[in-house]
Amino acid sequence: MSVQFPEGWTGITGDNGAGKTTLLLMAAGIENPSAGDIQGKGGIYCPQRTDDPPGDWEEFFYSGDRDAERLMNRLNINAAFMDRWDTLSHGERKRIQVGIALWKNPPLLALDEPTNHLDREGRDLIAANLEGYRGIGLLVSHDRTLLDRLCKSCLFLRGGNAVMRPGGISQGLAEEDRERLAGRRMKQNLAAERSRLAAEADKRRRTAESAKNRLSKKHIDPKDKDTKGKINLAIISGKDASGTRLYRKMQNRVERLDRSLEKTRDFGEQKKGLTLRGTKAKMDSLWRSPPGEIPLGEDQVLQFPELIILPENRIALTGPNGAGKSTLIRHIRAGLPPQLKTLYIPQEITAEESAELLREVLDENEKTGEKLSRAFPVSAHPRQASCNPAFPAPVRYANS
């Protein structure tokens, strides 16, 4: 397989685990392909994570560069962010991360889920600034609006295969649906033809077996010279052997169809999703808090009225990045009664927590845990980095 990425944005799409991030890491020169080669000039990779400040972020804030100031204004980045990274929301951190990458203006920019933590305003800000990038852009995202807005083409990773399609994600998915329908029809036709030929081959087999029995002399009277003569004549003429030849011919066709069916992709839809099961609490209320306020940072507080959570409630928290949504959730969790079973799924977990979670899931024995520790060193794994500039990145990579 050979893929060439032109100037402009190319979307990289596929299921989790399909290899999207690995492709970006190879494009940025952080990981090497196991076969084939990568050709290109150089670029920057920006990961999903926002644990640490990006490289050169102090220079970005204090350079006084006109381009840096323009990006800060367009991305709504406040100069005060410089002194409070730990209290910034992940959405605010993401705007800084993308802003610095654009400020460097690399020949190739590989972005991994740049809108994951952003509200609507933040997504619009990111999209508007990415539109102005003139290099080779590789974009991994589940944000269809962003992919349609930016991308001239999309690379689809499915089942170990890669297919490049023109246009945004909507156009590409429509083409994929058409291909899936055509492939499903082709497979159904092959299966129907295989069934028909298999039935015909079975019929020929029975005919051939019957002919074989007719040519047998086992149960003929040794003195019946006339019958034996007829059998000998049939053997010499080969008249009854035609059934066997037809059967073998049919069987060969069935075997060829079996090989074709094995090579044909399975175009069935895979079920996806996550199901969480639970029971309704029997308490009158799960949590109650009088009016109050929570500090959000320097000279900022979140004020709230009396809050009540009932067992049947389904509550959404909305607001711009940095408004205090995650802070309020932490406040609520701290006040929940200890006997109440809860499941908390954070927006982001640390690199150390990620490694520990992998160990808990995969560490069925000590040997597996040791192998995992070697494979995922917390401090060194490139997927935990913030931004990785100046790596040799490709315009094209080919798999031999």
DSSP states of 199-264 as a string?
HHHHHHHHHHHHHHHHT--TTS-TT-HHHHHHHHHHHHHTGGGHHHHHHHHHHHHHHHHHHHHHHS
What is the reported pLDDT for 399?
35
Identity at 52, one-letter amino acid code: D
Is the separation of the CB atoms in 10 and 138 below 8 Å?
A: yes
Residue 166 DSSP one-character state? E
Residue 157 DSSP one-character state? E
Is the separation of the CB atoms in 20 and 169 below 8 Å?
A: no
In degrees, rounded to 5, the angle at the alpha carbon of residue 253 between the alpha carbons of residues 249 and 259 is: 145
The listed range with the strongest mean pLDDT (51-55, 150-154, 209-213) is 150-154
Q: What's the CATH number for 7-167+387-398?
A: 3.40.50.300
The CA distances from residue 132 to 9, 105, 205, in Å, are 11, 10, 70
What digits encode the pLDDT tens for the residues 20-74? 999 998 888 888 888 878 887 678 999 988 888 888 888 999 888 899 999 999 9
Long-range CB contacts for residues 127-131, cutoff 8 Å, separation at least 24: 128/74, 129/71, 129/74, 129/75, 129/98, 129/99, 129/102, 130/9, 130/98, 130/102
Using left for φ > 0, alpha for ψ between -120 and 50, and beta otherwise, residue 173 falls in: alpha
What is the reported pLDDT for 45?
93
Phi, psi of 234 (to 5 degrees): -65, -35
Asked whether residue 236 carries a pLDDT value surpassing 50, the answer given is: no
Distance CA 254, CA 248 (A): 10
Regarding pTM above 0.75, the answer is no
Phi, psi of 60 (to 5 degrees): -60, -45
Distance CA 373, CA 383 (A): 15
